[in-house]
Amino acid sequence: MSKFSQNFLKFIDRNIGKFLVKLCRRIKKVPKEIPQRPKERYSILIIRPGGLGDAILLTPMVKMIKEKLGDKIEIHYLGEKRNVEGAKFCYGDIIRKFFVYDSLPFLIFLFRSIRRYDFVLDTEQSFLLPAFFANILGKKVIGFATTEKKDIFDISVEYFFSHFEAVNFFRLGLALISLIEQKDFGGKGFEEISDEYVMGYFKLSQNYESNVRRKKKIDVLFAPYTTRKEKMSPMLFELIKEMRDEGYKIEVIGNKKLMFQDILRMMEESRVFVSVDNGILHFANFVDDIRVVALFGPTNHLKWAPPTAFVLRKYLWCSPCSKYAEIPPCPRNIDCMKIEKNELKKVILRFLREVS
């Protein structure tokens, strides 16, 4: 999706989304207790706006739902053009059908699917339109209790800004299972779900052999590119050249289109992986035998960094400044991403010694 298209969708969400959610809130009266007749098979729709990283971080939730409910469910996925291929790669063996909402066929899908699904999971944290569409498409809707849209969900799940994003998604899956199994859902204890437990569900689609132990051919794999200039660190390109000149085996990804399996293969062949906050970084959650260094500034490392990563950041009062997906204009020339080259190099060299 182009930058213009993203901004246009955000404009529509801010202006029309608010009105539609208010309208939906007036029409819909959520009962305190939700009676549910047991069925042999339930239809589920997962709505996931966002980019590649957002789709990757849904993996544990999708895998857990399938593990717990098995053949009792059929799952469909509604996402964006920029994330649907990542979703297919990560859990395409579980999802029965994929749809995209930033395309004209979405309107046909919308009118054909009114109240079609037993349950809809709105995995978006802030945007309002997904919640409205979820109520059109589903009989019961589960989502995050963040903005005013919480009032149009049948179950609102608390959202934690200080927790790994995959853990937040995981809670939505647990809420779904509570509904289907007719267990009381109060959200109690969900904040205690550990990163380690959720990481155990980061398993790829059966189309990729991730358990093959590969020879370490690359010293450091860099992923310095991102669609947001505020998250980039120009220092990385200086360090890449410097370490190449010193004889280290260096590879760079993100500057040209690669197949997802090629990205993972390169990670598995690397001793150290260095990245800014981008979609590629989240693939590191699937790779055990690698040291990850993640550079963060405007975005929240507690939410987005792999739990096993070594995070480098400048501890400024204004960092992170991004609450949801928005990065506000910076009056300080993005000082938070001006991480010292020697500081990063010291960390990389230490990791190279440890894994040699």
> Please, which residues have CB within 8 angstroms of residue 170's CB and are 6 or more apart in sequence?
60, 61, 64, 193, 198, 201
Residue range(s) defining the domain that contains residue 344: 218-355
Q: pLDDT tens digit string along 36-66?
A: 677 889 999 999 999 999 999 999 999 999 9
- Residue in 47, 50, 46 with CA at minimum distance from that of residue 10: 50
Q: Tell me the mean pLDDT in the region 310-337.
A: 91
Please check whether residue 210 lies inside any domain of the structure.
no
Which CATH number do you get for residue 150?
3.40.50.2000
139 phi, psi to nearest 5 deg: -80, -35
> Please, which residues have CB within 8 angstroms of residue 216's CB and are 6 or more apart in sequence?
269, 270, 271, 355
Q: Are residues 181 and 37 in the same domain?
A: yes
The count of domains in the chain is 2
Q: pLDDT tens digit string along 211-227?
A: 566 788 999 999 999 98
Q: Are residues 158 and 227 in the same domain?
A: no
Is 7 in contact with 82 (CB distance < 8 Å)? no
Q: pLDDT tens digit string along 128-178?
A: 999 999 999 999 999 999 988 999 999 999 999 889 999 999 999 999 998
pLDDT above 90 for 350: yes
Q: pLDDT tens digit string along 93-103?
A: 999 999 999 88
According to DSSP H, which parts of the chain are helical? Answer: 3-12, 18-27, 52-56, 59-69, 81-91, 105-112, 129-137, 165-180, 195-199, 235-245, 260-268, 301-304, 341-355
Q: Are residues 259 and 192 in the same domain?
A: no
In whole angstroms, what is the distance from residue 356 CA to residue 341 CA?
22
Q: Are residues 33 and 147 in the same domain?
A: yes
Please check whether residue 208 lies inside any domain of the structure.
no
Q: Are residues 145 and 195 in the same domain?
A: yes
Q: Are residues 142 and 255 in the same domain?
A: no
Residue at a domain's end among 147, 169, 199: 199
Q: Are residues 56 and 165 in the same domain?
A: yes
Helix (H, G, I), strand (E, B) or coil at 95: strand
Please check whether residue 295 lies inside any domain of the structure.
yes
Q: Tell me the mean pLDDT in the region 299-323.
A: 95
Give the burial string for 314-332 (b: 16+ CB within 10 Å, else e): eeeeebbbbeebebeebee
**2: pLDDT confidence band, cut at 50, 70 and 90?**
low
Q: Are residues 9 and 114 in the same domain?
A: yes
Q: Of all residues in the chain, what percent carry a pLDDT higher than 70?
A: 90
In whole angstroms, what is the distance from residue 312 CA to residue 295 CA?
5
Q: What is the pLDDT, as a whole number, of residue 32?
A: 46
Is 32 in contact with 148 (CB distance < 8 Å)? no
> Please, which residues have CB within 8 angstroms of residue 198's CB and are 6 or more apart in sequence?
60, 164, 166, 167, 170
Q: What is the pLDDT, as a whole number, of residue 6?
A: 64
Q: Are residues 14 and 133 in the same domain?
A: yes
Q: Are residues 181 and 286 in the same domain?
A: no
**Edge-to-edge strand ranges of the sheet holding 270-276:** 250-252, 218-223, 270-276, 291-295, 310-312
Please check whether residue 212 lies inside any domain of the structure.
no
Is 80 in contact with 49 (CB distance < 8 Å)? yes
Please check whether residue 270 lies inside any domain of the structure.
yes
Q: pLDDT tens digit string along 181-205?
A: 877 665 545 556 889 999 999 988 7
CB atoms within 10 A of CB 86: 25
Q: Are residues 121 and 258 in the same domain?
A: no
Q: Tell me the mean pLDDT in the region 276-293.
A: 96
- Residue in 81, 73, 75 with CA at minimum distance from that of residue 101: 81
Q: Of all residues in the chain, what percent carry a pLDDT higher than 90?
A: 69
